[in-house]
Amino acid sequence: MVMTAARPVVLSGIQPSGQLLISHYVGAMRNWVAMQDTHDSLFMLVDLHAITVPQDPATLRARCYDFVALYLAAGLDAQKNTIFAQSHVSAHAELGWILNCYTHMGELERMTQFKDKSTRAGAVINVGLFDYPVLMAADILLYQATHVPVGADQKQHLELTRDLAIRFNHQYGEVFTVPEPFIPQTGARIMSLQEPTKKMSKSDPSALSYIGLLDTPDVILKKFKKAVTDSGSEIRFDPEEKPGVSNLLTLLSIFSNTEIPALERHFEGQGYGALKVQTAEAVIAFLAPIQEKFAALRADEGALDDILADGAGRARARAEVTLRRVYDAHGFLPRR
């Protein structure tokens, strides 16, 4: 893949834990698809990060194949993008160790995601969970990414990446590109169907709170019918006063490609039940071709392995260039 100044380098990925949700599609994957013709794009299966919590090996492996197939089914082109598994490029772990030596304990202790996850009942606290942001920084800096699509909850991790790049460059010269965040202005935060003041999350204990990309039509309809709405009966977009209704309007707007003001007019005089059913129908119709393509892709693991092998080869070639610069800056002996 040829890198040019006219094509910003973008890197992103999702952990293969739980399942991919419509919030992942809205907040990340549809933006990936939109950028693949304008950006030099690398999309990872973020499997090294997934083991900061215990994983069943067979389940993890199956889920990794699921995620790769869904990346492709959602519209990513393996010829236009570098699609690979994080664990297939050892430079991630190598650079992660080096960046550990430039990261302050206090910086990691202040990470809100670590504080949140480590205080949950029954949480397993390991060094990997604490050190997660440093490996994330290595992921980004290896490929000299100029832009990183991140949700608002990941912006703190990207700030640490920027700080580490600047700190390293100050000592050794311009080794790393300092990346910028790319945060979509609309639709980037899809809320829980059961607690619409919280974001939709695959870690939510209630399956009624989220819609999976592979949920069947019956399941999707059931979940939307049970979605929490608000007091009153007026259907209008007001995230502060009517978060449940506003979340449904946001989803219907995205999956039906209809502006929210038009939807507000459409639902005048109708109840919440109509909004729930029509939102479910729009999501079902949108996901149908993705699910059909996924089934065909997922049936051929050998083809998925070939795509990952090709992507890993291209990723390794690029990562090694950065790693050599980092090793040379430290005075390590050259590799032969």
Catalytic residues: 117, 199, 202
Beta bridge partners of 14: 45
CA 110/CA 119 separation, integer angstroms:
14
CA 227/CA 249 separation, integer angstroms:
12
CA 135/CA 74 separation, integer angstroms:
27
